[in-house]
Amino acid sequence: MGVSYNNYKRMNEFLRQDIKKELEILLSLDNDYALFKYQYENEKQIGKMLGSGYSVGTSSGTAALQFCLVGLGIGENDEVITVPHTYIATLLPISNTGAIPVLADVLGDTMLIDPDKIEERITEKTKAIMPVHLYGQMANMDKIRKIGERHNLMVIEDAAQAHLGRYGGKLPGNKSHAACYSFYLNKVLGGISNGGIVITKSRKLQDKIRILRNPESNDPLVLKSLRTPAYLDWEQIAFIKCKIKHLREWLERRREIAKMYNEELAHLPIILPKEDKKAYHVYRDFVIRANKRDKLVKYLSRKGIETNIHYEQPVHLSLTYKYLGYKKGDFPVSESICQQAISLPVNPFLANDEIFYTIRKIKDFFK
């Protein structure tokens, strides 16, 4: 039996007719006005589903983060606090503006930023906190917002993996200056390749981001963006439109699969993902931790089960961010997670027999 990690083929088959209809609409548009109207109206509707406030589509989640930083006035030698356990695209927008990523370790149970580690990293140069809602679960936004308010810091959420995730019943963007999503294909909501969107309650920030993403803008702020033009492309919108109406159903299926894993794997010598009591986890990934991680990956691969490793190396130990001066041992929780973590298939197009086959093979491995 083969078990696919993403099941793109099944998803595209399910959406084929809707996608054909939407592309026919797109291909029938006859002028720039009609194309930009299609873009503006649809990205506005997508934004409404993902959060409250204003929304601006971008070419990627990375661009969305960078536009937020620049729009909020963050730049050369400012400091932005984020985590070492994340994809490098979290840090790139910070360093691209000339700001300095300052890292705080994550919690061992949720694998999200440890609020208690944030305040000890704050200096007179700190301008913002960028929590990462990794694997589909939001960080503790109640504590993070209070820290931001106490120190007069901006809070920008990297919500690239947490579409319709919630903390305390609130979507990303409710307890911060802005939330940034990615529409990369492997997210719980993606286009045909890439894309992003900013959700913010600030009209002023929205206006600045529109200036930054539009290449025709006659504004000096554009020089700071490094990413123009950066629209959410029309073909990405077409695919997102076809997927978003199924998103809630797909997320419930992900949670259902996660429950199966949690119940069936509970007594094995592994660490299962913990869902914060105040969070609604959308399980972009179901991440377990095992001491024999590499052997388990190879074993499951031989049995036809695709898995993933997110991420093999914490960003502070990467060559890209060697210049920050961190060393091995500085962030022990993140480093331990990177050595142990393995992501199991949790996509909504898995059949129950594929899920129980995966469970059975994991149990066989640990016998």
- Could you tell me if 239 and 257 lie in one domain? no
Determine, yes or no, domain membership for 342: yes
Arithmetic mean of pLDDT, 156-172: 98
Q: What is the CATH number of the domain that holds 168?
A: 3.40.640.10
Neighbours of 161 (CB within 10 A): 27
Query: Which residues are CB-neighbours of 40 under 8 A, at least 6 positions away?
Result: none
Helix, strand, coil distribution of the chain in percent, nearest 5? 45, 15, 40
Residue 217: pLDDT over 70: no
Question: Which structure tokens are listed for 310?
Answer: 């997110």
**Domain match, 29 and 147 both:** yes
At residue 226, the pLDDT reads 72
Are residues 302 and 204 part of one domain? no
Q: What pLDDT is attached to residue 80? A: 98
Whether 32 and 144 map to the same domain: the answer is: yes
Residue 251 lies in a domain: yes
Q: In this structure, are residues 128 and 153 in contact, taking their beta carbons and an 8 Å threshold?
A: yes
Q: What is the mean pLDDT of the chain?
A: 96
Question: For position 137, what pLDDT does the model report?
Answer: 98
Give 296's pLDDT tier (boundaries 50, 70, 90): very high
Sign of CA dihedral 289, 292, 295, 299: negative
Task: Categorize the per-residue pLDDT at 126 as very low, low, confident or very high, splitting at 50, 70 and 90.
Answer: very high
Same domain flag for 30 and 137: yes
User: Is residue 13 included in any domain, yes or no?
Assistant: yes
CB-based contact 287:135 (threshold 8 Å): yes
Last residue of a domain, one of 197, 217, 243: 243
Handedness of CA 7, 10, 13, 16 (dihedral sign): negative
- The C-alpha atoms of residue 112 and residue 283 are separated, in whole angstroms, by 14
Q: Going by C-beta distance under 8 Å and a sequence separation of 6 or more, which residues neighbour residue 181? A: 50, 61, 64, 159, 160, 162, 163, 172, 187, 189, 196, 197, 199
CATH of the domain at 297: 3.90.1150.10
Q: Is residue 331 domain-resident?
A: yes
Task: Answer yes or no: pTM beyond 0.75.
Answer: yes
- Are 187 and 315 found together in one domain? no
**Residues 190, 330: one domain?**
no
Shared-domain flag, residues 180 and 253? no
Residue 3 lies in a domain: no
Whether pLDDT at 238 is above 70: yes
Cβ atoms < 10 Å from Cβ of 133: 27
Return the pLDDT at 220.
79
Q: 26: which residues sit within 8 A by CB, 6+ positions away? A: 38, 234, 235, 238
199: number of Cβ within 10 Å:
27
Sequence-separated (6 or more) residues with CB below 8 Å from residue 285: 135, 136, 161, 308, 310, 343, 346
DSSP, collapsed to helix, strand or coil, labels residue 253 as helix
Q: Is 97 a member of any domain?
A: yes
Looking at the fold, whether 226 and 78 belong to one and the same domain comes out as: yes
Which of 215, 243, 271 is the last residue in one of the domains?
A: 243
What's the number of domains the chain is made of? Answer: 2
Closest residue by Cα to residue 64 from 219, 236, 254: 236
Q: Of 212, 243, 274, which one is at a domain's C-terminal end?
A: 243
Amino acid at 15: L
Q: Is the per-residue pLDDT at 32 higher than 90?
A: yes
Angle between the 293-302 and 352-366 helix axes, to the nearest 10 degrees?
130
- Cα Dmax for the chain: 66
Query: Do 256 and 159 have their domain in common?
Result: no
Residue 26 maps to a domain: yes
**Residue 202: both structure tokens together:** 């600030």
Q: Which amino acid is at 61?
A: G
Q: Which whole number is the average pLDDT over 160-179?
A: 98
pLDDT surpasses 80 at 225: no
Domain that residue 268 falls in: 246-366
Alpha helices in the chain (DSSP H): 8-27, 32-50, 61-71, 92-96, 115-118, 141-150, 203-213, 234-244, 247-264, 293-302, 332-340, 352-366
In a domain, 146, yes or no: yes
pLDDT digits (tens, 9 = 90+) for 300-314: 999 999 999 999 999
Looking at the fold, whether 62 and 203 belong to one and the same domain comes out as yes
Q: How far apart are CA 38 and CA 15, in angstroms?
A: 20
Claim to verify: residue 181 and residue 34 sit in the same structural domain: yes
- Paired with 200 in beta bridges are 54
